Amino acid sequence: MQNFEQFSRKKYLNLETFRKSGVGVKTPVWFVQEGGTLYVKTLANSGKVKRIRNNQQVNIVPSKADGKPTGSWLSGISSIVNDETLEQRVEQLYDKKYGLLKKLFFRSRPNKEVDYCVLELKPVVDEIRK
């Protein structure tokens, strides 16, 4: 089992999720790490969440804000977190890592309720080639 050492002290990762057709969709995202697991907070109705509901396999790599890889691609499994305690822990990790930027980025729009969810990413196999 691989670890996520290459993600430590990084601000972004490029998350590749897969359409039903098998075509990959790459999205740079903020993330937090705790132990051997990475977490991504995202809009609950986003395309990546819909794709993960259909196919939990993902590929991930540390990246720059524009998605340009800064490490090696890894295969993983993603799932949607349904544990309020864990969601609160992830929120604390985001606060610590991103501070004021996080507060500005995830701020709800006036008169609109915005639902977020947390994705859990775990490694499954060795490095992949991209």
Query: Residue 33 belongs to a domain with what CATH number?
Result: 2.30.110.10
Number of folded domains that form the chain:
1
- 38 in a structural domain: yes
Q: Which residues contact 91 (CB under 8 A, 6 or more apart)?
A: 41
Stated length of the chain: 130
Residue 130, domain member (yes or no): no
- The model's pTM is 0.86
Report yes or no on 83 lying in a domain.
yes
Please state the φ and ψ torsions of residue 84, each to the nearest 5 degrees: -60, -40
Domain residues for 72? 5-125
Residue range 42-75, pLDDT digits in tens: 999 999 999 999 999 999 999 999 999 999 999 9
What pairing do the DSSP bridges indicate for beta strands 24-30 and 12-18? antiparallel
pLDDT digits (tens, 9 = 90+) for 6-15: 998 899 999 9
Distance (Å, whole) CA 120 – CA 96: 18
| Cα–Cα distance measured from residue 109 to residue 127, given in angstroms and rounded to the nearest whole number | 39
Residue 117 lies in a domain: yes
